């Protein structure tokens, strides 16, 4: 069997699963691999690492995914409610491996690895971020 790179497939699966599924203040929260211009809340998805975990039965990969929830607020604000509500919805949606639909791969296990809170002040706003790191075990099926 030819080993294939699962990075595009897993990113595409995360975006497809989350796009339009996360709401805040009655609006869908933008989801993608690029910063959502003009949005005050968004989810940025990136792959941190992919490790080959094959044991001889076929290609198996451990993918480390970071989902960064960002809330841009007025500089005097600092309300963590948006990131908390978004994180709650996000974790509920991505908790089942069969939800990840991919060509040539199947997700056999998904689990949270860590959560981290961060914030930054700029001249014009206050950004609150929550990074959720997930581990997905991806099996190549073709």
Indicate whether 114 belongs to any domain. Answer: yes
The CB density around residue 34, as the number of other CB atoms within 10 Å, is 9
pTM: 0.90
In a domain, 85, yes or no: yes
Average pLDDT score, the chain? 92
In this prediction, residue 36 has a pLDDT band, given cuts at 50, 70 and 90, of: confident
* Residue ranges making up the domain that contains 94: 7-140
Least confident of 66-75, 84-93, 107-116: 66-75
Strand 105-121 versus strand 60-74 pairing type: unpaired
1 inside domain: no
Predicted confidence (pLDDT) per residue in 85-97, tens digit:
999 999 999 999 9
Answer yes or no: is 124 within a domain.
yes
Q: Say if residues 101 and 44 touch (Cβ distance below 8 Å).
A: no
Give me 98's structure tokens: 């069969």
Distance CA 22, CA 110 (A): 19
- What distance in Å separates the CA atoms of residue 88 and residue 36, rounded to the nearest whole number? 20
Q: Would you say residue 76 has pLDDT above 90?
A: no
Highest mean pLDDT: which range of 1-5, 23-27, 34-38, 74-78 = 23-27
CATH number at residue 106: 3.30.2000.30
Number of domains in the chain: 1
């Amino acid at each position: 069997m030819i080993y294939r790179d699962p990075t595009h497939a897993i990113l595409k699966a995360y975006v497809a699963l989350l796009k339009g599924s996360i709401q805040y203040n009655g609006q869908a929260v933008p989801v993608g691999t690029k910063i959502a211009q003009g949005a005050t809340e968004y989810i940025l998805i990136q792959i941190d690492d992919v490790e080959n975990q094959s044991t001889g039965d076929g290609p198996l990969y451990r993918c480390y995914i970071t989902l960064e929830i960002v809330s841009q607020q007025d500089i005097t604000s600092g309300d963590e409610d948006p990131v908390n509500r978004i994180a709650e919805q996000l974790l509920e949606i991505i908790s089942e491996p069969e939800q990840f639909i991919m060509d040539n791969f199947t997700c056999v296990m998904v689990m949270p690895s860590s959560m981290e809170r961060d914030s930054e002040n700029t001249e014009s706003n206050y950004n609150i971020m929550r990074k959720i790191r997930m581990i997905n075990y991806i099996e190549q099926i073709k």
